[in-house]
Amino acid sequence: MRCTVAVLALLVGVRCGSAPEEPPAVRAVAPAFKTSLDTIRGDWFIVASNPNPEIRNRVVTDYITYRFAEGGSVTKEITSRGKTERQTGSYTFDPASGLIHVRLDLGKAGVQLTSWRQLSADEAKTVHWKNVSLGYEHPENDFFVKEGSAEWQRREKIALNATDSSLVDPQRLSIGRTYRLSKETPLMPEVEPSDPIGAIERIKRMPAGSRIRVLVCTVRQSTPWYKVQAAVGPGNTRVTGWVNSIALLGQRLSVEP
């Protein structure tokens, strides 16, 4: 699984990988920073890793937010099209590893564990994810910025859900429908390739204007993945592969007849 997420890195930019490169906008941080329950406390907003230059490296104010409160309680908020889902749980600090461990109760979906590494007083990233009930786990590499911090003030903000309600929600594409892409989008050969290194070489870039027909939808780490048949290029060459819904954020998807 460690190498699998290297493939995901090409899809969403910096989500995860066996040897991920940090986003250009994330500055090098001295390793002397000491994490504690006090330093992680506050509201943390995800940094967009979508390859779209209009979105990448901006703080997303209405997508994924972790709220670390006093007493060890934490709330994760996931917003899509104006609707917010809240997951609650607890967090602890492991002095040996320097990691913050977050435990969320997902109800029927099981218990989720996420490990965080705080890079500075302003920045942090997730490094590991696991669904305890399902026994599914993988490395992770999502970057977050604390609200109100100096880094928060420095970065540009974007509200991905503050769009016309008539726009297509990339997290709710319908099976059997065809959509036209407005931005270049990566197409992955498999959602969990047995040969991740080889899969990297087979990733295709679908140019703006390409059409995708949704065949299957599966969910990984609360994120929809779509198996699609794509018509690519001037000759509408047909190829099949997987698209991460995060790679569709910020696009103006249109439904094709």
Choice among 65-79, 91-105, 148-162, 240-254 with the minimum mean pLDDT: 240-254
| 118 and 241 fall within a common domain | no
| 19 and 104 fall within a common domain | yes
| Full domain range(s) for residue 54 | 4-158
Does the structure show a pLDDT above 70 at 105?
yes
- Per-residue pLDDT tens over the stretch 196-217: 667 777 888 898 888 999 998 8
Does the structure show a pLDDT above 80 at 133?
no
Position 165 in a domain: no
Position 82 in a domain: yes
Position 46 in a domain: yes
Position 170 in a domain: no
Please indicate, yes or no, whether the overall pTM of this predicted structure exceeds 0.75.
Answer: no
| 235 and 189 fall within a common domain | yes
| Whole-number pLDDT of residue 4 | 39
- CA–CA dist 66, 145 (Å, integer): 10
Q: In what order do the strands lie in the sheet with 211-220?
A: 237-244, 223-232, 211-220, 178-180, 254-256
| 152 and 192 fall within a common domain | no
Mean pLDDT value across the chain? 80
| 185 and 117 fall within a common domain | no
Domain boundary among 126, 158, 190: 158
Domain boundary among 158, 193, 209: 158
Return the closest-CA partner of residue 61 out of 158, 149, 155.
158
Position 43 in a domain: yes
| Whole-number pLDDT of residue 31 | 55
| 238 and 128 fall within a common domain | no
| 131 and 40 fall within a common domain | yes
Return the closest-CA partner of residue 44 out of 158, 177, 145.
145
| Whole-number pLDDT of residue 88 | 96
Position 238 in a domain: yes
Return the percentage of the chain with pLDDT > 90, whole number: 36
Position 10 in a domain: yes
Return the exposure string of 52-73: e unless at least 16 CB atoms fall within 10 Å of the residue's CB, then b.
beebbbbbbbbbbbbbbeeeee
